Amino acid sequence: MAKIVIEKSVPLKGAVRISGAKNSALPLMAASLLSGERSVLHNVPRLRDVDTMKEIMEEIGAKIKREGDSFLIDTGNIHSIEAPYELVRKMRASILLLGPLLARCGRARISLPGGCAIGERPINLHLNALSSMGAEISLENGYINARAKRLKGAEIFFDIPTVTGTENTMMAACLAEGKTIIKNAAKEPEIADLADMLREMGADIEGDGTDKITIYGVKELRGAEHRIIPDRIEAGTFMIASVMTRGEVEIRECIPEHLGALIEKLEKVGAEIRVKKDSIFVKGPDVIKSVDIKTMPFPGFPTDLQAQFMAMMCIADGCSVIKETIFENRFMHVGELRRMGADIEVNGSQAIVKGKKHLLAAPVMATDLRASACLVLAGLVAEGGRTEVHRIYHLDRGYEMMENKFASLGAKIWRES
């Protein structure tokens, strides 16, 4: 099994280029199924999750060819409407095929995505939205069976601003008959990126980025060419790494407006931050001040940066409170950080982190994607030897060549099989 080995790092220095966003690439790939014409995606990151989505789409008949950082996607001959269990269980975001297949083919059979380490991850809001658009949905043998001659526009209110629920509904509504209004919609930047591509395909959408999105269904959509936005979570991960190592790092090809909540917190931590149009310079302070965070839907502090921020608070000068409000079990990294000497007390959805002078190098185990990033960050500052992060297939799901990027900034980090 591969592992990543890290020694205590010198202050990171230099510039790092951010890859295309995983959580944009996945819905954009699914959206290409809404048209029988060819689409082209640029800035496609090299990630396991993207590979899995490619595999599932090829299973159902799409032809996808990588040319450098681009995907040429031919969806002219979709001959199956089934996303099989053995692939869906590898990546629950396969649920994003439900809306497009239903809208394009009138049917879809998707294995129910199970839960995962961070939570039960129900999809009731997705299914309720599609049912209110006229889809007949049944669950049998662990599969969702959905069918609809033609979906009809509806007014949908999400109890929770679900990101992929909003994306699934948007995609389905583009080809539905009439108008769909989504209230309490998610406002993450990936939603706006998807809406941009759907408009390039000929969809009639407005309000993306706000909590009310209106879609006027059209008869059919054309292929499109679209560049994927940069990954704000990868960018945030490197910003936190610069602070933790007291480094001076320029994060290139990012969108600072997507990182407002983190920037505000890092300034409170004592970092010096200079924002340009498409880059952010982060200089770490000598003393890392402890700061409380509470994860919230965008534009609040992103849950996908909670674990990384906790790693930084482990070496802060005081006590910080970290509240996780999005997922019910997203503290799996706490046990591993404790193995490195961290002082963290968990009460339900709240973790109290008592900052220490330093962490201690140790072998640790990744439990989920962002927890693995948190452990790499902890390894960069841990004293007394080498930190080994095991089960790094979690990391490869969402970070493109993370160790190479850190090594280019001066970190002593490498992969061992």
Catalytic positions are 116
Q: Is 169 helix (H, G, I), strand (E, B) or coil?
A: helix
CB of 98 to ligand EPZ, least distance (A): 11
The residue behind tokens 């591509």 is 197
> Would you say 91 or 271 has its CB closer to ligand EPZ?
91
> Would you say 53 or 312 has its CB closer to ligand EPZ?
53
3-state secondary structure 242-288: HHHCCCEEEEECCCHHHHHHHHHHHHHHCCEEEECCCEEEEECCCCC
Cis? peptide before 299, omega within 30° of 0: yes
Beta strand pairing call for 63-67 and 70-74: antiparallel
Q: Is 303 in the site for ligand EPZ (CB under 6 A)?
A: yes
> Would you say 259 or 288 has its CB closer to ligand EPZ?
259
Q: Is 122 in the site for ligand EPZ (CB under 6 A)?
A: yes
Q: Is 295 in the site for ligand EPZ (CB under 6 A)?
A: no
Q: Which of residues 181-210 bind ligand EPZ (CB under 6 A)?
A: 186
Distance between CA atoms of residues 355 and 269, nearest Å = 12
Among 366, 369, 373, 395, binds ligand EPZ (CB under 6 A): 369
Asked if 270 and 296 touch (Cβ cutoff 8 Å), the reply is no
Q: What φ, ψ does residue 363 adopt, rounded to 5°?
A: -75, 130
- Going through 293-411 in order, the beta strands assigned E by DSSP cover 293-294, 319-323, 343-347, 350-354, 363-365, 386-390
> Would you say 121 or 354 has its CB closer to ligand EPZ?
121
Q: Which of residues 16-45 bind ligand EPZ (CB under 6 A)?
A: 22-23, 26
Question: What is the contact mask toward ligand EPZ in residues 147 to 186, using x (rule: CB under 6 A)?
Answer: -------------x-xxxx--------------------x
Asked if 143 and 186 touch (Cβ cutoff 8 Å), the reply is no
Among 11, 119, 178, 410, binds ligand EPZ (CB under 6 A): 119
Q: Is 398 in the site for ligand EPZ (CB under 6 A)?
A: yes
Q: Is 54 in the site for ligand EPZ (CB under 6 A)?
A: no
Q: How many CB atoms lie within 10 A of CB 115?
A: 12
Among 124, 210, 343, 416, binds ligand EPZ (CB under 6 A): 124
Q: Is 139 in the site for ligand EPZ (CB under 6 A)?
A: no
Binding-residue total with ligand EPZ (CB under 6 A): 24
Q: Is 254 in the site for ligand EPZ (CB under 6 A)?
A: no
CA distance readout (Å), 303 to 28, 86, 184, 362:
22, 27, 18, 26
> Would you say 35 or 303 has its CB closer to ligand EPZ?
303
CB of 97 to ligand EPZ, least distance (A): 12
The two structure tokens encoding residue 186: 């998610």
Return all residues near 99 (Cβ < 8 A) that are at least 6 apart.
30, 126, 130, 167, 168, 169, 170, 171, 172
Among 4, 62, 93, 170, binds ligand EPZ (CB under 6 A): 93
Distance between CA atoms of residues 119 and 283, nearest Å = 34
Q: Is 299 in the site for ligand EPZ (CB under 6 A)?
A: no
Q: Is 126 in the site for ligand EPZ (CB under 6 A)?
A: yes
Chain positions contacting ligand EPZ, by CB under 6 A = 22-23, 26, 93, 119, 121-126, 160, 162-165, 186, 303-304, 326-327, 369-370, 398
